[in-house]
Amino acid sequence: MDVKIREMRESDLDRIMEIEVKTFSPPWSREAFLLELTKNLLAKYIVAEVDGEVAGYGGIWLIIDEGHITNIAVEEKYRGLGVGNRIVEGLIQLCIDRDIKAATLEVRKSNEIAKSLYKKYGFKEYGIREGYYSDNNEDAIIMWKTIQF
Ligand SMILES: CC(C)(COP(=O)(O)OP(=O)(O)OC[C@H]1O[C@@H](n2cnc3c(N)ncnc32)[C@H](O)[C@@H]1OP(=O)(O)O)[C@@H](O)C(=O)NCCC(=O)NCCS
């Protein structure tokens, strides 16, 4: 499948919100994404396009020599086709381009698919934030990956 990775633009936000509200509870607001794109100088967001349609997206904060992955989502109809792989590869590439030493993220303890995706790219479990997710009080697993020494 032909997946194109490019930077997220303001004009993507209607489509991003369509995917976001179907994917996360609670979802980020449109304003939150807009601030990330226009005001947060540390933030980078990418989208994955399939046949010209945005199928998924991911974001990262590049803070000095650390990358903090903020979110990754793929619309349900595009899942299991390798789009998530391409988004993670795109975020890791942003780290490599910026000489980032390590990347981290939080993932719900029960989210086996996402944990498997991250482990595939070398992320390892380093700790737990108890009750991190306010909707159901679920713990977050903290994962880290070394990018380069
Ligand atoms: C997690 C998510 C982004 C994966 O996207 P995707 O496009 O379906 O992923 P891919 O098809 O590229 O698969 C990548 C890897 O994920 C894992 N994976 C994907 N589908 C899986 C499944 N049904 N069961 C187990 N592992 C699975 C595998 O490790 C897979 O590696 P492989 O390609 O070698 O098999 C997607 O399921 C999603 O949007 N989920 C809801 C939002 C979410 O949980 N985001 C992460 C928040 S931390």
CA nearest neighbour of 95 among 56, 58, 126: 58
Closest ligand 1 atom, residue 24 Cα: 42
What does the block give as tokens for 95? 């780290």
- The protein residue whose alpha carbon is closest to atom 25 in ligand 1 is 113
Residues of the chain with pLDDT under 70: 149
Residue 5 pLDDT: 98
pTM for the whole structure: 0.97
In this structure, are residues 58 and 19 in contact, taking their beta carbons and an 8 Å threshold?
no
**Contact residues of ligand 1, CB 6 A cut-off:** 23, 72-74, 79-85, 107, 111, 113-114, 116-117, 120
Residue 92 pLDDT: 98
Beta bridge partners of 144: 104, 124
Which of 74, 117, 121, 125 should be mutated for ligand 1, with most atoms under 8 A from CB? 117
In this structure, are residues 20 and 32 in contact, taking their beta carbons and an 8 Å threshold?
no
CA 98-36-54 angle, 5° bins = 85
Residue 1 pLDDT: 85
Residue 149 pLDDT: 67
Q: 15 C-alpha to center of ligand 1: Å?
A: 20
Q: Is the peptide bond before 26 cis (omega within 30 degrees of 0)?
A: yes
Summarize pLDDT for 88-110 with one digit per residue, the tens. Answer: 999 999 999 999 999 999 999 99
